[in-house]
Structure 1
Amino acid sequence: MVVLTEAKLRALAGARSFERGRGYVDAVSGIEVGDDWVRASVRGTERYEAELSLGGPRGLTGECDCPYGQEGNFCKHLVALGLTMMTRKADLPRQRRTARARARALDAWLSDLSREELLALVRDEIAEDRNVRRRLELRAASAEGDLAALRSRLHELFDIGPFAAYGYVEYADARAYADQAGQAVSAIRALAHSDRAAGAVILAREAIGLLATAAESVDDSDGRLGQIGTDLAAAHHDACRAARPDPEELAHWLVTHAVDDAADLTDLDPLDYEDVLGERGMDALRRHAVLAWQAHRTGWAEKNLMQRLTKAGRDVDTVIAVHTADLAPNGHTHLLIARELDTAGRSAEALEWAERGLRDTADLASVDTALVDHLTDRYARAGRLTDAVTLRRDHFTARRTLLTYRQLRAAAEAAGCWPAERQRALALLSTDTGRDLRARRGPVLVDALLDDEDIDAAWRAATEFGAHDAQWRTLADRTRATHPAEALSVYLRLAEPLTHQTGNRAYEELVALLLGIRACHHHLGTPDDFTAYVTALRATQKRKRNLMRLMDEHGL
C-alpha cells in the first residue's frame, strides 16, 4: 500500500491546490476506509465525494466529483483527505484490517443466505432505494434484451420533471439529475457488449436525442451532461463495432447528427467511424455530407464537415466548391482557394483565383491584405516586378498608410523604380494630409518622410500641414543637434502641459523632454538658460516627490 506523504500530495496536486487543500482539512467528514482505498465527504461550495486509491499499479491516485476533479485533476479536496489520513496513519493498518474483515463477513453472510432470503433482501433494498431499483430494472431489461422496456426506462431517466420545479433544472439539482441520466450509459454499454448490440445502437441514438432535448432546460455549468454525451457517443461507437449496422444508414445518421445542435453535446466525429463504415460507408458519408451542405451552404457545421471529409480524401476540387459557395467580399476566401491549389501543385489556377479575389473586391481599401501580400510574392517570384509594383501602388492609393507606403517602396526598390514611385506617392499624400489627422497620428506624409530619413522634408511637411505630438517629438529628437533652436521650441511646447499633470507616466515623459531641452541648450551654448528653467520648474513642482526623485536620478 502507498505511504501518504506531503511530498506525494504536492506532486500530484501542484503547489496551488496543495496549499488550498490545507484549508479544507477541517471540512473532511464521514471517512470510510477500505482495503486499498479511503473515501470521505469534503465540504466546499457544496459537499463533494473524494476517494483516494492507495494501491494498484499507478500508486497513489484520487477521484473527486467536484468540477475540477471531474476534469481528471488531483484537487484540493483530495489533498485535504490525504492530509487528514496522514494524521491517522498510526491507526490506518487497523482500519484496513477491520475493513477486510467486514468485507469477508458480509460476503460470508450473503453466501450463507438461501435464494429466497437473497431475493427478500434485494426486494427490501429496492423498496427503500429507488436508485437501486432503477439500476436493477435496467440490468434486467438489458439482460432480457427488452428494447421496449429499456426505451421506457430511458425516457424516465432523462425526464427533468422530478428535478425542475418551474420547468428548468437549477444548478443545485443538476448533479442529481446528471447522476440519474448517467445510468443510461451503463445500460447501453451492457447491451452493446451482449448479443443484442444492434439494439444498443438504436437506444444510444435515442438517448443522445433525449439528452440534447433535456440539456436545453438544465444548468450544466459543471459540464456533467457534456460528459454523459461523450460517454453515450462512445457507447454508440462500441455498439456499432459489435453490431455492424448497414453502412449507408449509419452514414446518413452520422451526417444528420453532425450538423444538428446535439453534436456539440456529444463531440461525436463521423470520421472516427471509418473502421465501421468501410469503403462503401465512407462513400455514403461523403455523399450525404454533400447533400447536407447543398441544402445549407453557409452553415458552419456543414462546411466544416465537408472540408474535413474532402481534405481527408485529398479532394481539392470539393474543398474549392465549398469555399466558392460562400465567397467573402474582401478576397479572403479566394486566398484560401489559392493556397489549396498551390498545395496541390496547381499554381496557374491558384494565381487565377488570387487575381480574381482582387477583381471581386469592390473597394481595394477593404481587401484582405494577406491576399495582396500573396499576389505580390507570386509576381516577384515569377519575375513580374512591374506587376508587383502596380499592385502595391494600387493598394497604397486605396489605403494610404505608412505600411502600404513601405510595401510600395520595397516593391519599387526591387524593380529599380523607387524615385519615380516615391515622387508620385508623396504628391498623393500631400493632397491627403488634412483627413489623416483622424487617426491621431498626424499626416501619413510626415510618417513616410521620417521613414525615408528625409528629416528636413518631414519638418517642412509638419510645419505646413500639421503633425501629431508624437511626430513633433520624433522630429525634435532627430534635429536637436543640427537645428537646436527649432527642436527646443517643440520640447518646451510639449513639456508645458505635462507640468499640470500628476502620475509617474507623466513624470517620466516630462523628464525625457527635459533631457532633450538640456541637449538643445548645450548645442546652443546657453546652459545657464537651462539651469534657470529647471530651477523655476523645481520651485513650482516641488510637491511632486516622485518627479523630484526622477529629476535627481537624471541630474536635472
Structure 2
Amino acid sequence: MTTLADDVLPLMRSRAESHRWDAANAHGHDMHRGVDILEAAINTADPAEVYAVTHKALASACTVIARADDSSGIIGDVCHRLLALHPQVAATANVAPVKLVDWMIKFQFEGVVDYFELDPVAYAPALGERGMVTYRARLDAIAASLGPRASDDARFGSGHAHEWFTLDHNARRLAVLDRDIDAIIRTHARSRKVAAWLTDTAKAFQEIGEVDLAIDWAEQAVEFDRGHQSLTAASHWCRLLEEHRPNEVLAARLRVFRHWPSAVTAANLHRATGAAWPEHRDEVMATLADNPSDSVTFVLGTLNDVEWAWRLAQSLALTSATTWSELIKAYEKLDPLAVLPVHQRLVDETLVDADARNYRAAAQRLRKMRKLAAGTNRAADIDAFVAELRDTHRRRPRLLQEFDRAGLP
C-alpha cells in the first residue's frame, strides 16, 4: 500500500457504528479530510497512484453511505466530491477507456447505491473519442434489453425504473456533450409538462454557451405558471440577464415581483432599480400591504427603516411572531419600553402549546424583558407578569424549571 493510500483509505472505510447519526457525522468529517488529502496530491503525486486511491475511496464511500445514517448529508457530500474528482484523475492517469467504460456501466446499473449519477461530459476527456463510442454502444445495448420504452407516467411503476432513469440522465448529458440543440430540447424539456424541465433546458443551453436560447427557455419556465418551480426559474432567468443583458434586468425583476409579490422579490427589485427606486416605491408598498409580514420585512431588512417598519406593523395589524421578533430586536434600540407589550404577547403565544422548547424560548424572552425594563417604572410590571405566569402555569414543572434556570424571580 502506498503512502497516499495509507493516509486516505483508513479515513474512508466503513465503521460498525456509522448507523448512528452522531457517529456517521464524525466519520463523514474524517472522510472529508481524506478527500482534502487527495485533492492536495493531484499536482504532486503520481497520477496513477492518485487515481487508484481515489477509485478505492469512492468505492468505500458508497459502501459507507449505504449503511450510514447520513441525515445530515455529510457523507453524501464526500461522495459528490469524489465523483467530481474521479473523472479528472482518470484523465490525468490515462486510464484505459475500455476499463473505465466497464466501471461506469457497473457503477450506474449495478452499484452498491443507486442515487448517485456519473456525468459522461466530465468523463469525455478520459474516454476519448473511441471510448465514448464504446460507452454509447453499451448504453444502447442496455436500452435494447429493456424492451419497449414505458411512458413517462408509467416508467416509475415498471420493473426497470432505475435503468430508464439512468439512461435518460445519460441521454441529457450526451446531448450537452454533442452540443445538439434539438437533442437538448428533446431530452431536457421532454413533454414540457413541468416548469423545472424548461429550466433544465435553459441550464443545458447555458452550459454550451447558447446564451440567447438559455434566456428564452428560462423565460418560458417563468411564464409556465405561478408555482414554486416557476419562481425558482425566475431567479435563474434574472441571473442570466444580469450577466448577459443587464439592460433588461429591471423590467424582469418588476415582472417577477408582480407575479410573486414578497419581501424577497421586492428586495431584488429594489436592488435593480438603483436611483429609480422612488418611481416604483408606491407600487411595491401598495402591493406588499396585502401581506403585513412581507411588508414589514422588506422595510426593515431592505430599506433599513426601523421606525417605518414599526408604524407599518401597527397599521397593518402584523400577526407573524417571527417578524415581530425581528422587528422588536431592532426597535428596542430606539425605544426599549415600547417593545415590552409585544414581548409579553409573544410570551403568551409561546406558552399556548406545552413544549420544552417553547418553555426555554419564553424564559429567555422574559429575561430579555427584565433587562429592558431594569431601572425604569416598568420593572415591577414585568416581575408581576412573571409571578402571574408562575401561578397560571404552576402545574408545568418543566416550565418553572426553565424560569429558574433563566434567573427569573
Q: Give TM-score, length-normalised by structure 2.
A: 0.55
Larger Rg: 1
Question: Which residue, out of 512, 517, 523, partners 2:369?
Answer: 517
Q: Residue 487 of structure 1 contacts residue 520 of structure 1 at CA under 8 Å; is this kept in 2? A: no
Change (3 A) 1:427 1:264: same
Query: After superposition, where does 1:54-73 map in structure 2 within 5 Å?
Result: none
Question: Which residue, out of 387, 392, 413, partners 2:253?
Answer: 392
Question: Which residue, out of 455, 473, 476, partners 2:306?
Answer: 455
Paired residue for 1:409?
270
Question: Which residue, out of 281, 289, 294, partners 1:444?
Answer: 294
1:502 is displaced (CA, Å) by: 4.1
Distance across 2 between alignment mates of 1:15 and 1:365: 44
Q: What are the Cα deviations for residues 393-432 of structure 1, in whole angstroms up to 9, with x where unaligned?
A: 111111122222222223223xx323333332111112x2
1:325 is displaced (CA, Å) by: 4.1
Question: Which residue, out of 270, 277, 286, partners 1:418?
Answer: 277
Change (3 A) 1:295 1:501: closer
Q: Residue 219 of structure 2 contacts residue 234 of structure 2 at CA under 8 Å; is this kept in 1? A: no
Q: Residue 307 of structure 1 contacts residue 319 of structure 1 at CA under 8 Å; is this kept in 2? A: yes
SS in 1 for 2:339: helix
Q: Residue 338 of structure 1 contacts residue 350 of structure 1 at CA under 8 Å; is this kept in 2? A: yes
Distance across 2 between alignment mates of 1:350 and 1:494: 47
Structure 1 residue 369 and structure 2 residue 221: aligned?
Answer: no
| Alignment-mate amino acid for residue 381 of structure 2 | D
Change (3 A) 1:287 1:338: farther
Question: Which residue, out of 321, 324, 335, partners 2:186?
Answer: 321
Distance across 2 between alignment mates of 1:529 and 1:412: 47
Paired residue for 1:482?
334
Higher share in strand: 1
Distance across 2 between alignment mates of 1:469 and 1:278: 57
Change (3 A) 1:420 1:516: farther
Q: What are the Cα deviations for residues 177-225 of structure 1, in whole angstroms up to 9, with x where unaligned?
A: xxxxxxxxxxxxxxxxxxxxxxxxxxxxxxxxxxxxxxxxxxxxxxxxx
In the alignment, structure 1 segments of 5+ residues that lack a partner are 1-11, 18-70, 73-240, 242-257, 434-441
In the alignment, structure 2 segments of 5+ residues that lack a partner are 1-12, 19-62, 65-97, 99-104, 121-127, 156-163
Distance across 2 between alignment mates of 1:294 and 1:412: 54
Q: What are the Cα deviations for residues 490-531 of structure 1, in whole angstroms up to 9, with x where unaligned?
A: 222333355666442232122123123324433744433334
Change (3 A) 1:311 1:515: same
Structure 1 residue 427 and structure 2 residue 292: aligned?
Answer: no
1:444 is displaced (CA, Å) by: 1.9
Paired residue for 2:219?
355
Aligned residue-pair number: 287
Q: Residue 449 of structure 1 contacts residue 457 of structure 1 at CA under 8 Å; is this kept in 2? A: yes
Paired residue for 1:333?
197
Q: Residue 179 of structure 2 contacts residue 208 of structure 2 at CA under 8 Å; is this kept in 1? A: no
Distance across 1 between alignment mates of 2:132 and 2:306: 71
Distance across 2 between alignment mates of 1:555 and 1:502: 21
Distance across 2 between alignment mates of 1:373 and 1:453: 23
1:327 is displaced (CA, Å) by: 1.9
Structure 1 residue 494 and structure 2 residue 346: aligned?
Answer: yes
| Alignment-mate amino acid for residue 379 of structure 1 | L
| Alignment-mate amino acid for residue 400 of structure 1 | P
Distance across 2 between alignment mates of 1:479 and 1:347: 46
Question: Which residue, out of 545, 550, 553, partners 2:402?
Answer: 550
Provide the identity percentage. 22
1:334 is displaced (CA, Å) by: 3.0
SS in 1 for 2:374: helix
Distance across 2 between alignment mates of 1:312 and 1:534: 67
Change (3 A) 1:407 1:280: closer
Moved runs in structure 1, 4+ residues, more than 6 A?
A: 274-290, 292-297
Paired residue for 1:379?
241
SS in 1 for 2:304: coil
| Alignment-mate amino acid for residue 450 of structure 1 | L
SS in 2 for 1:411: helix
Distance across 1 between alignment mates of 2:384 and 2:143: 81
**Greater RCO between the two (CA within 8 Å, min separation 6)?**
2
Q: Residue 517 of structure 1 contacts residue 530 of structure 1 at CA under 8 Å; is this kept in 2? A: yes
Distance across 1 between alignment mates of 2:211 and 2:401: 64
Distance across 1 between alignment mates of 2:331 and 2:133: 74
Q: Residue 396 of structure 1 contacts residue 405 of structure 1 at CA under 8 Å; is this kept in 2? A: yes
